[in-house]
Structure 1
């Protein structure tokens, strides 16, 4: 870990969290819950079936005691949370290599550790980039390896957000794959529940507006990514996914009309989430085995 001396540097120059190993039974219940949230007529996978790419985000969840949550709903402390004062967290993106899909209803293990820590200067000040590597195993075999890029800042920054939302304008695309979504507060609340995400920007509109400066509730970054991957699951369900890389670029807000679209080839697919005001709120690339 190489960190320049800076405002954030002294807080993390000796921070070196150890590797953590956790177990999960991969119960079918979370798959059924997310399937219902996505208006699927039945669960997309049952016990023994392969778990769709990145649906492992429904598992290995953390439930800290209520007294251990901060005012924003995030945990005050955590093994992989850097000791930065007035810490603000943003999920920036990640990569996942899939050797074999995880199987629903079969015991799994996750081995997690910090792979990189770096301080960079952004347009709004210093940012701390932490990459966490997660290896998922079943029956002693590595099934997939994921890296998640998390960005932290000390204190809040006034972002560039619309002052009002147009919930009627629809984005357009001529790409082969398309999936429309208009997430309302109930959907965001249910996604928070199924992923154990207590961050108030996703369900507490007065907080999101008054404390964080957003024009409304914020759509979860993981929900944007999973919506893009629904294009693959629904259009080419028999094509095994070898890898996924994704990036979260601009926030989207509750009740905006979203469009996931994709341009597939024989070997990969380029995916994105658009609104009428932004062409790329999130992007992803999927490669097929």
Structure 2
């Protein structure tokens, strides 16, 4: 991909895009955390008031429910506060970073402040790409607990996998790379429940004809955030007494419903290196964790 420049068609347009930050509040009730624990068969995860939220589980909170009339054809809101009003874009979750000073606690009021980090136009094989970074600061008890950045890509054109649909093999198991491992085969039921828990109406997670005919995927797409959560679950299981101080993750290639997924990883000197594999490739997603 070419770096953004002043000569890029969108360059001068997005330079002036400076929306103001927005703040909201949530009581962090235990219900959503208990629900995700059930969906992922995690009986020992956080479910009680006062429990610390596992890393990235704050994605279950501060959810937005726009009016049905405000949704676009893809299921996302037609207008996003931090997306420049550029029409005909398809949305992809690309990755992010998170610095955790102290974990958020269930059952205690929390505040989130969201601001625009950066908007960067680039060019790729599937057309123009617009990288939008949102910065999210979470506070509880008057202290900043964690700061997160999320990278969202808005592309013109169809998915890069269009035209050479990979075979979705429901039987072949991927081979492990690291000693830590979790195997899962997400199906339509799991994707539906994750969408409901995260207020995600994007049709690539539940509408097969839309996936194939509009966005160019061979089947339902497993949520990128779910892949990140699975990688972090390795750390929670294998190093339960170590607290995550920072993490970063990157989503490289989509995974489809019915495929066998392997989340695997290995400890490092100060944290862990993690990944998501299928029979098609050893690294659909990667993550790095540094312990506090």
TM over 0.5: yes
CA deviations 1:154-190 (Å, max 9, x no partner) are 3435535534311100001152100001000000000
2:243 to 240, 244, 259: 240
2-side partners of 1:42 and 1:262: how far apart? 21
Q: Find 1:71's aligned residue among 64, 73, 77.
A: 73
Q: Please give the root-mean-square deviation of Cα atoms over the aligned residues, in Å.
A: 1.6
Give the secondary-structure state (helix, strand or coil) at the position aligned to 1:93.
strand
Evaluate the alpha carbon distance shift between residue 174 and residue 280 of structure 1 in structure 2; reply closer, same or farther with a 3 A threshold.
closer
Distance 1:194 1:109, change over 3 A: same
TM-score (norm 2): 0.94
SS at match of 2:289: strand
Deviation of residue 113 (structure 1)? 0.5
Counterpart position of 1:86: 88
Q: Do residues 201 (structure 1) and 204 (structure 2) align?
A: yes
Give distance in 2, aligned partners of 1:158 and 1:92: 14
Q: 1:158 to 1:233 in 2, by over 3 A?
A: closer
Q: Distance in 2 between matches of 1:252 and 1:157?
A: 13
Aligned partner of 2:14 in structure 1 is 12
Match of residue 61 from structure 1: 63
Unaligned runs of 5+ in 2: none
Aligned residues: 288
CA distance in 2, matches of 1:154, 1:174: 35
CA 1:239 to 1:111, structure 2 compared with 1: closer, same or farther past 3 Å? same
Deviation at 1:117, TM superposition (A): 1.6
Secondary structure at 1:227's aligned position in 2?
helix
Distance 2:15 2:247 in 1: 31
Shift of 1:126: 2.2
- Residue 28 of structure 2 is aligned to residue 41 of structure 1: no
Range 121-130 or range 152-161, more displaced: 152-161
Residue aligning to 2:186: 183
Give 1:94-109 correspondences, 5 Å limit. Answer: 94-109=96-111
